Amino acid sequence: MSLGLTKQLTRLHQVSHYQLTKHFTTMPCPFLTKLTTAYVRNYAPTLLKMYGSQCPVMSQSMSSMASASKELEEPDNSVTKKCPFLNEVTDMVKEASQEDIIELDSKPVNDVFQYDKFFHQQILKKKKDHSYRIFKKVNRLAGPGQFPKAVEYSWGERPITVWCSNDYLGMSCHPEVKNAVRTALDQYGAGAGGTRNISGNSIYHEKLENTLAALHQKEGALLFTSCFVANDSTLFTLAKALPGCHIFSDEGNHASMIQGIRNSKVPKHIFRHNDPEHLEELLKAVDVNVPKIVAFETVHSMTGAVCPLEELCDIAHKYGALTFVDEVHAVGLYGNHGAGIGERDNQLHNMDIISGTLGKAFGNVGGYIAGSASLVDMIRSYAAGFIFTTSLPPTVLAGAVKAIEILASDEGRELRTRHQENVKYLRNTLLRHGFPVEHTPSHIIPIKIGNPQQCNQVSDMLIKQKGHYVQAINYPTVARGQEKLRLAPTPHHTKELMDMLVSDLEEIWIKLGLSFTGLQCSKECKFCNKSILFDYFEERTRKCSNEIICNIPNCPQMVAAL
């Protein structure tokens, strides 16, 4: 139905109400005056189809679209005599026809929706604001001594060094992990064969879940195809199941957590990033008897910030909440056995639900949760993201078990020590050269640029001209204005490689006219003003008090650290 006719009908409805109320209360129009304006606007096409031919005004417009305006301005006298209403509203109809009739496109109105055109327009938006993603074609090399080398194919084949991988310790290339995967492949094949309930459950699945539960000192664990699915499914399922549940979510939480919370449609409260005081303020406003979940990450994936774990957990439990703690960027990297920040800070008992990944420091793929036996069994029984998907294959399970065993051993502790040393060396070298490094005590080194186009330029020039792969991080991974390079050095990067990276990055920085603004944090930053405290928070395992040395009697930094 013509948009012009629809708007005409709506305008005539408004005119008829005014005129008939004022002058013709004895002659109500059966097609208009008994209906509200909103009803006419919403159902105009149906009204026109059913009753338009009976109306002396609208029938003319319907009979000839091309001459609708002219015929309404000069109505036929014989038609006018049939409807007294028309005599009074002719002038207003003329005005309506001039102002409200909208010209139609030449294409037929019943064309199907232009899907490809719409998709193209959405992509153009991303390209215009420089948030469109072009994936680098990178084949990482896994031979003896090759990690972290790779071959890149985006602009022709070239050897590169990878500086941004989440394979933080190189476990995907570890010879024992590869042998475990190879053995599982030969014995059990490449695929799982089905869901956990339909032929997809093996002794490897149960062995890995038991290993993860023991690692995190929990009664049970549950595997998912990714930690995105683990976070999304667990938070959604818990929030929907707990009666009257409220969720308290850190504003910096990962998209997987946000999606599960949003889809649950339960009341949610957002507290400032890593801010225990704000969390307590929000928790106070909800009755202590109401089921509550407090969800946050230990290590933030993009800024590298480390949460005040003990404070957040204590406040959550004070107000009767469960804690859901994402350790994705911490497992394998912190703690005496690689169980994450929770183990390092002796807070595993305070964490009700822990989510982690097999795809980063453990060098494989997949996600999991760990918690009490009853909680894990409830999620196993109700979470659609667990129930209705093919389970992880035996190759992944075997590789993950071996990686966890290695990182819980002396070899794992030695890897974490070398890793921390390399992170500290590269961070300090970048700072000495004046790069805008965000100062956080984790293994992630963000260099803030704040402009998506410039961020992409630096990344592309590094890989094309210098052979360094450092990924540009743009919206929506980070907020607009927070665009950055994200460096993640491993234990296998040498000091020579790190010095070369800094030198090459400095050359490109100058070429693009970027500023060497230095450390990106406030002057009141506790880490900048308290170097011993920073070292304490940077540690992969917590040191005893006699291992923290300061020559100043009653040093306040030592007191704060201990």
Mark residue 175 as left, alpha or beta (left: phi above 0; alpha: psi -120 to 50; beta: remaining): alpha
Beta-carbon-side half-sphere exposure of residue 256 (alpha carbons within 13 Å): 21
Task: Let me know if 54 is exposed, middle or buried by CB neighbors in 10 A (0-12, 13-18, 19+).
Answer: exposed
Specify whether the CB–CB gap between 183 and 175 falls below 8 A: no
Measured distance CA(412)–CA(331) in Å, rounded:
12
Specify whether the CB–CB gap between 316 and 279 falls below 8 A: yes
Measured distance CA(335)–CA(361) in Å, rounded:
13
Which helix (H) or strand (E) segment is 140 a member of?
strand 138-140
Retrieve residue 470's tokens.
Answer: 């450092």
User: Where do we find the tokens 């035996």?
Assistant: 394
Measured distance CA(290)–CA(317) in Å, rounded:
12
Question: Any alpha helices (H) in 83-114, and if so which ranges?
Answer: 84-100
Which one is catalytic: 136, 218, 292, 360? 360
Rounded to whole angstroms, the maximal C-alpha distance in the chain is 109
Retrieve residue 59's tokens.
Answer: 């029938």
Beta-carbon-side half-sphere exposure of residue 406 (alpha carbons within 13 Å): 22
Q: Which residues pair with 369 in a beta bridge?
A: 222, 355
Question: Any alpha helices (H) in 23-63, and if so which ranges?
Answer: 37-51, 58-63
Neighbours of 365 (CB within 10 A): 19
Residue 194, helix vs strand vs coil: coil
Q: Which DSSP category does 350 fall into?
A: G
Rg (CA), the chain: 33
Closest CA to 390 of 106, 558, 200: 200
Specify whether the CB–CB gap between 161 and 468 falls below 8 A: yes
Measured distance CA(257)–CA(325) in Å, rounded:
10
Establish whether 360 is a catalytic residue: yes
**Residues with catalytic function:** 360
